[in-house]
Chains A and B, each alone.
Chain A
């Protein structure tokens, strides 16, 4: 598998460049190229997940560096383990659904190939960040994905879109600056960028504590901004609704997790470990996001803004769970992040379909759409049930795991607050369902028609996955999630997981 690791970034990059080259000659080829590149990634990622692949590759492999203990190939370290495997799979699934959805959602217009260039760049950046074994490449790929997403947010180039993109760009740059500063501090203190080397240096105890804490704080703030945790969230409710629906799905379903949650999970254990202070900070951020997001969503009428605020809220759950510090908390957080990726992308795609059906994104302008657009409605309904945590959908299981993790970590108050926020989520999505799908059909919508199959099928597929990952939870899904959690936390709470990571990287190249 190691040989194939570079493909996770190379395939979308090549597809993106092909879109650019064929811009004039075959503008219609771009959507198909996107679907093809996503389908390839889906194949690769499923193969890796099913076979439980792990491995390290040094892309480039240019030259040999001597170190004290021996020598190994220098290059862009790409590390595949349980955690990156699961997120690669998530990126591929949501990416495929969004690419198929975009086929008929975006009219063939001037500049459509450029859209697909950015789309592929976004995926390449995320995959690169998921695989990167050193901080600098993590940063580079993160910037690739961020900048591509800024372009996609501004895609429709209306006033609102450009304003949203500007805010997103400025706050995104702030977060990137914080992350880069953190990397610099670490590099200055240790002389390493490779996370395995860094971990060895830090655990050796020779590194002073202040730069480590400074770096950890900068990472929490920087990746927290990418996660859109409160109070760093303000860009998200503008940016995510402004993008076209398939991009909203990619941003809310993937980007905030790959650049935010995944990066936090990957980097923090290496730098300082999840010590008490750090956990307190993450808990505070999580609590603020969880309740702030859900309360802000109450006052919204625009479906996409409701969804966007709920992304803030749901990331709060993930943070609170991860901040438990126990293996179960990490597993629950990862599971919830993956589930949120599935159901939130289904929700954003459905919001695009509903906008097409009803001609508006406002809930007050919808009603009774179940009769007009049954397939779209079924998709939205399933995704709503999933985010509300109704069994047997996956949202229920991750909610349950989070509550178990919080209670068994001795945080009953936090568990109560998380349950309260879950109730508010339920209340919001009950409102969404009843206002959009049930009740009287406005006279204006008498002629409303169902969207084409290429738009409702991806949503239904995602909802089926939500159902399957809920129903099959004991049979396979727990293995995927468990191995992902194993990659960053050990059941005994010790540093075993990080040590295993170091051994994997150092054993990966020729000594």
Chain B
């Protein structure tokens, strides 16, 4: 047996085994299932860390039938190795959170934990896959787990689960068709192992020919559905309102993004040589997703839906970065995938913690929770700054790289759009922070406090800390992980020195701030400068808040203000967006589902169903005449030709 085989199989087998055991945990034994969850996640993390310095793969004969020559092949390279370990971090956060969340609650933690772990195992298989079919299998396992998590989590989860399954089903079938096309195209081009991914990377397909272009588009569709890019995004907001926060954080919030962007990065950097037209298409989808998602997010009043639309919007940056085809843009796209997983998981988990204590996520009914829930507030604050691209946090670094990529690719208009999206994101999160943690607290929430088990704050602190670390120490992270991933294929520019990408303009194109001497971005000095700048501000704030102050209830026109009635919730912040001519119409169309691809397709099929249904009259003479006419048609066709 190949000595690499156990090393490569462990990241799949450990979480899968822990998940299978968790399925057997009876009823409400939350301690046992929590322990299994954490153990499985740690197993995945450990096995993933072991892969970090493993380069190589195994390939065992599997099935061969005519043109189908799949092998059971796994490999660890500069991308898949750390991506698996990263899934371990995400799984650990979800497992810790689950452990704290289920404490003192009813429900079925065993099944929940099991499905999360099985999804992680499927993701690990998809990431490590070195064969098209293994990739498809792991990929579909994640979809199945997502469906069962959504449908069995809450009694009203069914419709959203069905929608998610339909949209992801389109993606999965696209992946399957695309994979078969790639295999057949490879075989036609005379590849030795057409179904092997490393073989494909060694001889990428030229996507300017129709066959490979179709395969590229199919794989793109698969990646878009998984990651939630427009127009295949609508399952995420729908699902968010009836699904457990840790599921949202782990699957649509992070793991699905990792898979989708992994596939997109491999497809466009590694397996194909995309034509400029295809790259522009991906970039266009990315730009539309950034702007559409963030506008939809701005007008939401349910925190989960708001976060989901941001989860859609941020995918746009990843698409845009990878689509530039420049090394710096690809690094930005991939790094943004990592960063997004961290901060969005943190935000979803924080939202879940808020819901656990207050019973609602309607922004209208929340407020002033900053003091009652300090850890949640702190973590969500960091994550919110990060998603808005505030330096020195990680979200800033990756967006910066994406902007550089746009500039290098010669797409200034997309750069402007991306910047605009980032500004709107910040605006949207100001609203969130105000509505949830600042402002006046409704009296209904007077008793709110962080009562969940220690796992809940621990998971959020883990993620928020990762956001800070990856921001401040972005250079080493880029150098060790993201650079090799972005430079894997011949489509990229070879293995890159990550920190060099931060400093030097790439591809000869001038970076927007290239006139700064000594480099474009140096995160550590930047952090120090920012902290130095923040000190006086903090001091000022401190002097303002200390000292003798007299607090009187507001008194206007002979009446005391009622805190309940005169609260100023943040939901109305950007209501004016709706009054902007074109945008308002688009927004209301978006909210009514008229722009939802799932709804459009469903309605498009209805007339056909109706027609067929009405044709089935139940009358024997009708049925007999169909049969006779069919018979006549068959005979006529065969004889008269």
Closest chain A residue, CB of each to CB of B632: A221
Q: Which of A220-258 contact B (CB under 8 A)?
A: 220-221, 224-225, 231-232, 234-235, 237-238
Docked-complex contact B65 and A328, CB < 8 angstroms: yes
Does A473 count as interface, using CB distance less than 8 angstroms?
yes
Cβ of A427: which chain B residues have Cβ within 8 Å of it? 162, 165-166, 169
Cβ of B183: which chain A residues have Cβ within 8 Å of it? 404
Docked-complex contact B66 and A404, CB < 8 angstroms: yes
7 nearest A-B pairs in the assembled complex, by CB-CB distance: A234-B623, A221-B631, A434-B158, A217-B635, A328-B66, A474-B63, A231-B630
Docked-complex contact B627 and A231, CB < 8 angstroms: yes
Docked-complex contact B629 and A231, CB < 8 angstroms: yes
Stretch in B136-144, B369-377, B407-415 touching the partner: B136-144
Q: Which of A171, A232, A327, A400 contacts B180 (CB 8 A)?
A: A400
Stretch in A85-93, A112-120, A291-299 touching the partner: A291-299
Closest chain A residue, CB of each to CB of B641: A277
**21 A-B interface contacts by CB (under 8 A):** A170-B624, A216-B638, A218-B631, A231-B629, A231-B630, A232-B630, A232-B631, A281-B637, A281-B638, A295-B612, A331-B66, A385-B144, A390-B140, A399-B176, A404-B66, A407-B180, A407-B184, A415-B177, A423-B170, A427-B165, A491-B66
**Interface bits A443-476 vs B (CB < 8 Å: 1, else 0):** 0000000000000000000000000000001100
Docked-complex contact B613 and A299, CB < 8 angstroms: yes
Closest chain A residue, CB of each to CB of B627: A232
Q: B227 to nearest A CB, angstroms?
A: 19
| Contact A221-B626, Cβ < 8 Å, known A391-B141, A427-B162 | no
Docked-complex contact A440 and B155, CB < 8 angstroms: yes
**Interface bits A264-285 vs B (CB < 8 Å: 1, else 0):** 0000000000000110110001
Does A18 count as interface, using CB distance less than 8 angstroms?
no
Cβ of B166: which chain A residues have Cβ within 8 Å of it? 423, 426-427, 430
Cβ of A23: which chain B residues have Cβ within 8 Å of it? none
Q: How large is the interface on A (under 10, 10 to 19, 20 to 34, 35 or more residues)?
A: 35 or more
Docked-complex contact B147 and A430, CB < 8 angstroms: yes
Does B181 count as interface, using CB distance less than 8 angstroms?
yes
Docked-complex contact A296 and B155, CB < 8 angstroms: no
Cβ of B162: which chain A residues have Cβ within 8 Å of it? 427, 430-431, 434
Q: B243 to nearest A CB, angstroms?
A: 13
Docked-complex contact B173 and A419, CB < 8 angstroms: yes
Docked-complex contact A404 and B67, CB < 8 angstroms: yes
**Interface bits B161-175 vs A (CB < 8 Å: 1, else 0):** 110011001100110
Docked-complex contact A478 and B65, CB < 8 angstroms: yes
Docked-complex contact B627 and A174, CB < 8 angstroms: yes
| Contact A298-B605, Cβ < 8 Å, known A277-B638, A408-B66 | yes
| Contact A295-B608, Cβ < 8 Å, known A232-B630, A440-B155 | yes
Does A193 count as interface, using CB distance less than 8 angstroms?
no
Q: Which of B54-75 contact A (CB under 8 A)?
A: 62-63, 65-68
Cβ of A299: which chain B residues have Cβ within 8 Å of it? 609-610, 613
Cβ of A218: which chain B residues have Cβ within 8 Å of it? 631, 635
Q: Which of A175, A221, A224, A235 contacts B623 (CB 8 A)?
A: A235
**Interface bits A104-115 vs B (CB < 8 Å: 1, else 0):** 000000000000
Q: Which of A376-402 contact B (CB under 8 A)?
A: 385, 390-392, 396, 399-401
A491 and B610 CA atoms in complex are apart in Å by 43
Docked-complex contact A430 and B161, CB < 8 angstroms: yes
Q: A228 to nearest B CB, angstroms?
A: 11
Closest chain A residue, CB of each to CB of B161: A434
**Interface bits A202-221 vs B (CB < 8 Å: 1, else 0):** 00000000100110111011
Among B137, B610, B634: residue with most chain A CB under 10 A: B634
Does B639 count as interface, using CB distance less than 8 angstroms?
yes
Docked-complex contact B180 and A403, CB < 8 angstroms: yes
Among B151, B152, B169, B181: residue with most chain A CB under 10 A: B169
Cβ of A326: which chain B residues have Cβ within 8 Å of it? 66
Q: A488 to nearest B CB, angstroms?
A: 16
Does A416 count as interface, using CB distance less than 8 angstroms?
yes
Cβ of B177: which chain A residues have Cβ within 8 Å of it? 403, 407, 415-416, 419
Cβ of B156: which chain A residues have Cβ within 8 Å of it? 439-440
Does A506 count as interface, using CB distance less than 8 angstroms?
no
A327 and B67 CA atoms in complex are apart in Å by 11
Q: Which of B176, B609, B624 contacts A419 (CB 8 A)?
A: B176
Cβ of B605: which chain A residues have Cβ within 8 Å of it? 295, 298
Does B477 count as interface, using CB distance less than 8 angstroms?
no
Q: How large is the interface on B (under 10, 10 to 19, 20 to 34, 35 or more residues)?
A: 35 or more
Does B529 count as interface, using CB distance less than 8 angstroms?
no
Cβ of A431: which chain B residues have Cβ within 8 Å of it? 162
Does B214 count as interface, using CB distance less than 8 angstroms?
yes
Cβ of B141: which chain A residues have Cβ within 8 Å of it? 391
Does B620 count as interface, using CB distance less than 8 angstroms?
yes
Docked-complex contact A166 and B180, CB < 8 angstroms: no
Does A412 count as interface, using CB distance less than 8 angstroms?
yes
A403 and B157 CA atoms in complex are apart in Å by 32
A193 and B133 CA atoms in complex are apart in Å by 46
Closest chain B residue, CB of each to CB of A234: B623
Closest chain A residue, CB of each to CB of B61: A474
Does A504 count as interface, using CB distance less than 8 angstroms?
no
Closest chain A residue, CB of each to CB of B68: A404
Q: Which of B169-211 contact A (CB under 8 A)?
A: 169-170, 173-174, 176-177, 180-181, 183-184
Docked-complex contact B623 and A220, CB < 8 angstroms: no
Among B133, B174, B608, B620: residue with most chain A CB under 10 A: B620
**Interface bits A297-310 vs B (CB < 8 Å: 1, else 0):** 01100000000000
Does B24 count as interface, using CB distance less than 8 angstroms?
no
A438 and B152 CA atoms in complex are apart in Å by 6
Does A167 count as interface, using CB distance less than 8 angstroms?
yes
Docked-complex contact B637 and A277, CB < 8 angstroms: yes
Closest chain B residue, CB of each to CB of A178: B631
Cβ of B170: which chain A residues have Cβ within 8 Å of it? 423
A398 and B495 CA atoms in complex are apart in Å by 41
| Contact A295-B609, Cβ < 8 Å, known A170-B620, A390-B144, A404-B180 | yes
A391 and B135 CA atoms in complex are apart in Å by 12
Does A368 count as interface, using CB distance less than 8 angstroms?
yes
A391 and B628 CA atoms in complex are apart in Å by 40
Does A482 count as interface, using CB distance less than 8 angstroms?
yes
Docked-complex contact B66 and A433, CB < 8 angstroms: no
| Contact A430-B630, Cβ < 8 Å, known A216-B638, A278-B638, A407-B181 | no
Cβ of A327: which chain B residues have Cβ within 8 Å of it? 66
A277 and B641 CA atoms in complex are apart in Å by 8
Given A224-B630, A296-B613, A401-B65, 19 extra CB contacts under 8 A:
A216-B638, A218-B635, A220-B638, A221-B634, A280-B637, A281-B638, A298-B605, A299-B610, A328-B65, A399-B176, A400-B133, A404-B180, A404-B183, A423-B173, A427-B166, A434-B159, A438-B158, A439-B156, A440-B156
A328 and B612 CA atoms in complex are apart in Å by 33
Docked-complex contact A368 and B155, CB < 8 angstroms: yes
Does B616 count as interface, using CB distance less than 8 angstroms?
yes
Does A505 count as interface, using CB distance less than 8 angstroms?
no
Does A19 count as interface, using CB distance less than 8 angstroms?
no
A171 and B628 CA atoms in complex are apart in Å by 10
A400 and B68 CA atoms in complex are apart in Å by 10
Q: Which of B68, B133, B157, B620 contacts A167 (CB 8 A)?
A: B620
Does A361 count as interface, using CB distance less than 8 angstroms?
no
A422 and B237 CA atoms in complex are apart in Å by 25
A391 and B68 CA atoms in complex are apart in Å by 17
Cβ of A344: which chain B residues have Cβ within 8 Å of it? none
A422 and B66 CA atoms in complex are apart in Å by 23
A231 and B615 CA atoms in complex are apart in Å by 11
Does A435 count as interface, using CB distance less than 8 angstroms?
yes
A281 and B632 CA atoms in complex are apart in Å by 12
Cβ of A423: which chain B residues have Cβ within 8 Å of it? 166, 169-170, 173
| Contact A433-B151, Cβ < 8 Å, known A427-B162, A473-B63 | yes
A391 and B169 CA atoms in complex are apart in Å by 13
Docked-complex contact A171 and B623, CB < 8 angstroms: yes
Cβ of B622: which chain A residues have Cβ within 8 Å of it? 234
